[in-house]
Structure 1
């Protein structure tokens, strides 16, 4: 085999953290390469975050047009339902644009893009089975494992044989299911549930746990579920499925039990959204001694170093919270470590993990929940306001939901914030900035914020925090 090419940094996978690490180091004159076998730019621009939000937005447009047509505000004639092929093409056009953007960044950054499957041969050597045939041998001072994760399909009898949809296939549907059954009441399942209900499908969500969105405070998950029930979505919690028969896309029947009572549900399509597993097989990790956790993720320290010096793991495969913005922070941690390994300024310890569920209304959160604070024995003061107090919601006919803030009982620091309301995710950075800089809650309650905006409601919310005794 030919003499291998040597690089400063190689990323196996072109996801958020891996590509940014290589782009950044290439911009400083380092020789870098990114190996990608399928999704250029990772899952986010192709099959996850951005495409799903594109589809959700199409569902919002349809929902609002129908809502206001019924009031007489819009005069819609001769139109009913939705053409899913148009929804799909709108999504595909966006994805194609994002791929072109990534190709342009690679071209301009100086980072080499290699299409193929990368596999470790030793701690410094990667072999690539090239997409167009042949193999390429590469060595590097630093190797980044950025292989992501995939939908989990468990071993329930008949489930795999039913050829269920995952989020990937859901984004390519060109028909509205007659009855969509969703296994899993987490973020992805809930977002698709609302979107396809708005497209016109009958939708049933099945969750094995006692509550939908079980990691949220009960008042939060209950409020959102009530809103979704109001749109016609059916929920079955505390439900176990023991067998599946039929084929998704034509007819499928799930058999099991809810609270120990027999349950059977039939539908036309089945979506599995019950968790994810890391892509850590077939990359040679075991060959070089990279340790894995019991869940199959790459074992890393606070600087995302693996058990093998010079090899890092980032994003989903490293067990980082499954958000693109967290993967971007993984990039910053590795970037800063490589630039200053003796005193790296960033790590995964105590970092903020904000997130937004893109239902309508949105659910946004950062910091401690009430349940987490109680479990940890942390004393707090609570402020809670309905969305009607956020006056902008009245202009949008979107007053469902509420916001709440947890403040330290001892020093007035903001411990956590949750909002269930329109554009709730856009309010997070204001609260995060105060939290990151250890500012008291009064730094928000005393702000002058433009009226009428959603963030204006933060003044009222934090103004409602009980004074410290």
Structure 2
């Protein structure tokens, strides 16, 4: 048996939180190794956040050019070269991978490419990608395992070789008719993007509305935006079976309240949630327990059921956002240094990058009502924000929740630059400021953020 190499810390998975933790500890003089099967830098710069936003931006350019005449700009017929779209995205990914390799070199953290498996508490065996085996022993272990796309157990679906977001972002051809299974954030972003590239797109969701985590008025507005661009949305549709082969001909049979229906397309994309990468890597050998959904069981300090083992990001049940994983890193880093930070009560913003985008922080109206909270709800259509009149981007609205102490409990926006406007509200929430601060703030005119004056001006006084 190979003798174990000794390390102060080992990180399995080099997602956002894991890599920053490794770099931080290595720069502090500790001997640190990071295990990674495939993606240098993690999924975000390679196959998720940044590649999707890159191609979504290309789709937005195509949409702008196609509608240039509405702004008095005469342009010829629009054609999209998907090979160039993908090449642009790949060039970005390559530059990000190079950046990450430079960071590993600069910090002294060792990147080990291979499949890691726990064989005993504090002991990891790695089957190296280039052949051979290594065994590492560590004082501290950090699990940053991530997730993968869930393929629902629908008869015939797996046999069609469906696209996930990974393959969809590598398509250098334009699907004639893309069928998207799932009305969540990833599915809707890609649905709109491919519609703008020129595909016919049908979104199928078994729920009565899109984006079930959001308020009903948010779901309805997003549906209207997509349908206005020609995306077909089929709700309350349970997929019964799938036939054919993606990238050729696929037939999806769905059951709806009005009876069965067959949808014929050329490609099928599955965007039906994520499954934690926690099976088959020996967590039980280290005494690491899982929850029923398969995430690693942790406390609010991200400590697992095993001594000196922590979990980071999606595999720990943290929200499935890169910025959540980064905050997990901060919590663990500070606590290792004697702090007492937890995940309890942290504000978690997020954006969905359709156009116009959706941004939310804090509670939704539905969550507040379900908890019996006494909140004031105010809403402002984006057409009331004068900046939208200059851009003709009037779709959407702002909505805020204000508690009895005049603090902002939640904010949602569908509209141009929603993520940037949300950050203003987040700063006020983090500071515990009264809504009146934003109501009365001198905000530059004409900007999207200026709408916050009017939005909070609608709050009824107690």
Same fold (TM over 0.5): yes
2:40 matched to 1:40?
yes
Q: Of 373, 379, 401, which aligns to 2:396?
A: 401
Distance 1:188 1:89 in 2: 21
Aligned to 1:118: 116
Aligned to 1:140: 138
What is the DSSP-based 3-state SS (H/G/I as helix, E as strand, rest coil) of the residue aligned with 2:70? coil
Structure 1 residue 351: Cα displacement? 0.7
Structure 1 residue 37: Cα displacement? 1.1
What is the DSSP-based 3-state SS (H/G/I as helix, E as strand, rest coil) of the residue aligned with 1:107? helix
2:25 matched to 1:7?
no
What is the DSSP-based 3-state SS (H/G/I as helix, E as strand, rest coil) of the residue aligned with 1:71? helix
After alignment, is 169-178 or 260-269 more displaced?
260-269
The 8 Å contact of residues 355 and 366 in structure 1, kept in 2 or not, is answered as: yes
Aligned to 2:405: 411
The 8 Å contact of residues 122 and 286 in structure 2, kept in 1 or not, is answered as: no
Q: Of 235, 238, 241, which aligns to 2:239?
A: 241
Aligned to 1:444: 438
Question: What TM-score, normalized by structure 1, do the two folds share?
Answer: 0.97
Structure 1 residue 260: Cα displacement? 5.4
Structure 1 residue 168: Cα displacement? 0.2
Distance 2:90 2:113 in 1: 21
Aligned to 2:31: 31
Structure 1 residue 225: Cα displacement? 0.6
What is the DSSP-based 3-state SS (H/G/I as helix, E as strand, rest coil) of the residue aligned with 1:399? coil
**Deviation readout 1:74-107 (Å, 9 max, x if unpaired):** 3334x43201001000100000010001011111
Distance 1:94 1:460 in 2: 39
After alignment, is 286-295 or 200-209 more displaced?
286-295
Aligned to 1:230: 228
Aligned to 2:340: 345
Aligned to 1:71: 70
The 8 Å contact of residues 184 and 207 in structure 1, kept in 2 or not, is answered as: yes
Aligned to 2:447: 453
2:461 matched to 1:467?
yes
Structure 1 residue 73: Cα displacement? 2.9
What is the DSSP-based 3-state SS (H/G/I as helix, E as strand, rest coil) of the residue aligned with 2:254? strand
The 8 Å contact of residues 118 and 124 in structure 2, kept in 1 or not, is answered as: yes
Distance 1:214 1:238 in 2: 12
Matched ranges for 1:211-360 at <5 A: 211-259=209-257, 261-340=259-338, 344-360=339-355
What is the DSSP-based 3-state SS (H/G/I as helix, E as strand, rest coil) of the residue aligned with 1:291? coil
What is the DSSP-based 3-state SS (H/G/I as helix, E as strand, rest coil) of the residue aligned with 1:90? helix
Distance 1:239 1:72 in 2: 39
Provide the alpha-carbon RMSD of the alignment: 1.1
The 8 Å contact of residues 204 and 236 in structure 1, kept in 2 or not, is answered as: yes
The 8 Å contact of residues 382 and 466 in structure 1, kept in 2 or not, is answered as: no
**Deviation readout 1:10-54 (Å, 9 max, x if unpaired):** 100110111111111111111111111101111100000000000
**Deviation readout 1:272-304 (Å, 9 max, x if unpaired):** 001110001221102222111111111111011
Aligned to 1:361: 356
After alignment, is 188-197 or 455-464 more displaced?
455-464
Gaps of 5+ in 1: none
Structure 1 residue 111: Cα displacement? 0.8
Aligned to 1:22: 22
Structure 1 residue 110: Cα displacement? 1.2
What is the DSSP-based 3-state SS (H/G/I as helix, E as strand, rest coil) of the residue aligned with 1:87? helix
Distance 1:72 1:324 in 2: 37
Q: Of 63, 81, 84, which aligns to 2:79?
A: 81
After alignment, is 433-442 or 243-252 more displaced?
433-442
Structure 1 residue 337: Cα displacement? 1.6
2:202 matched to 1:204?
yes
After alignment, is 56-65 or 445-454 more displaced?
445-454
2:188 matched to 1:190?
yes
Change (3 A) 1:327 1:132: same
Distance 1:151 1:443 in 2: 42
Distance 1:13 1:193 in 2: 30
Structure 1 residue 266: Cα displacement? 0.6
Distance 1:328 1:158 in 2: 38
Distance 1:108 1:127 in 2: 26
Aligned to 2:88: 90
Q: Of 384, 387, 390, which aligns to 1:389?
A: 384
Structure 1 residue 347: Cα displacement? 0.9
Gaps of 5+ in 2: none
Distance 2:222 2:418 in 1: 13
Distance 1:57 1:434 in 2: 30
Structure 1 residue 390: Cα displacement? 2.0
Distance 1:289 1:143 in 2: 12
Distance 1:203 1:64 in 2: 19
